[in-house]
Amino acid sequence: MNLAVARPGHASGSGGACNVGVAMQRSEFVAIRAFIFDASGILLGDTKSALVTGRLGKRLRARGISSYASYLRLLVDDPEERQAAIDLLTTNETYFFREPRHFDFLRELAGKAGVARRPFRVWSAASSSGEEAYSAAMVLADVLGDKPWEVIGTDISSSMVAAARRARYPLARTQRIPDAFRRRFCLRGVGPAEGTLLVDGRLRRRVSFLEGNLNGTLPAIGEPFDLIFLRNVMIYFPAEVKTTLVARLVTHLRPGGHLLIGHSESLNGVCDTLDQVGPSIFRKS
């Protein structure tokens, strides 16, 4: 990986403590922007310098490093720190039943597929802390019950994958779950867990979360999917990355399968092999 800066030495143990708010040089920002683009395909704009310093500054303090140039060297040499930086610099905004019409559409598809012998498969391709995947699972459990179905979530952030597997959320983040689903599929925390909600184990067992980079080597995700969520992801990528990304994901759709993107996103100039069948809903022929 070309970090576009000279390779500095490590900060010394005796003089490594750094002041709160380490200044970032322009060359350092350019190098960090190159790092996160190489790692994830996300292109940080020129206005994101404050975001980078706000998110990575805590890591410099924790590691006793006095400059971002030294931190860049650490990212090359330390895989665990590299993952920590990726976790901090990738956006993980999500909530249950976001863009609810998409889940109405999923309900319709699942109902039509209810007589199929093969599993109905859904992929939450940037699953963050799991809310999207569990929302889909609640719909499938409601429509298909014990018939074969499966939800897989993947995310580049190891910490988000771990959070999704824990499946415990503050109550304030669960308000969009329909009341009937909350009673049926969730457990309210008591004692030390008061103020949280846990997705019931019977539903959790139908959902798998894997660490995976959509712009890198994907983990083993099995047979093609009936529906893929790729929502509010492409807004972070330049045009050429969007084109490559969508082309890769389409190969994991069954013929007749559907790709769902965010309402603020478009496939114009990105993909011409899918038919639009609704707002932000596309079908593979």
Name residues whose C-beta falls within 8 Å of residue 74's C-beta, 6 or more positions apart in sequence.
Answer: 10, 63, 65, 81
7 included as an active-site residue: no
Report the candidate in 210, 195, 105, 109 with the shortest Cα–Cα distance to residue 155. Answer: 210
Distance CA 41, CA 274 (A): 23
- Measured in whole angstroms, how far is the alpha carbon of residue 103 from the centre of its chain? 18
Distance CA 154, CA 69 (A): 31
Distance CA 204, CA 186 (A): 10
28-40 burial string, b = 16+ CB within 10 Å, else e? bbbbbbbbbbebb
Contact 83, 39 (CB under 8 A): no
- Spot the catalytic one: 55, 173, 254, 283: 55
- Spot the catalytic one: 121, 155, 182, 204: 155
275 included as an active-site residue: no
Backbone angles phi, psi at 50, to 5 degrees: -65, -40
Distance CA 271, CA 242 (A): 9
Contact 59, 107 (CB under 8 A): no
User: What is the layout of strands, in order, in the sheet containing 281-284?
Assistant: 207-211, 149-155, 120-124, 225-230, 253-261, 281-284, 274-278
User: What is the layout of strands, in order, in the sheet containing 186-188?
Assistant: 168-170, 196-199, 186-188
Distance CA 27, CA 29 (A): 5
- Looking at residue 274, its amino acid is L
Which residues are marked as active site? 55, 155
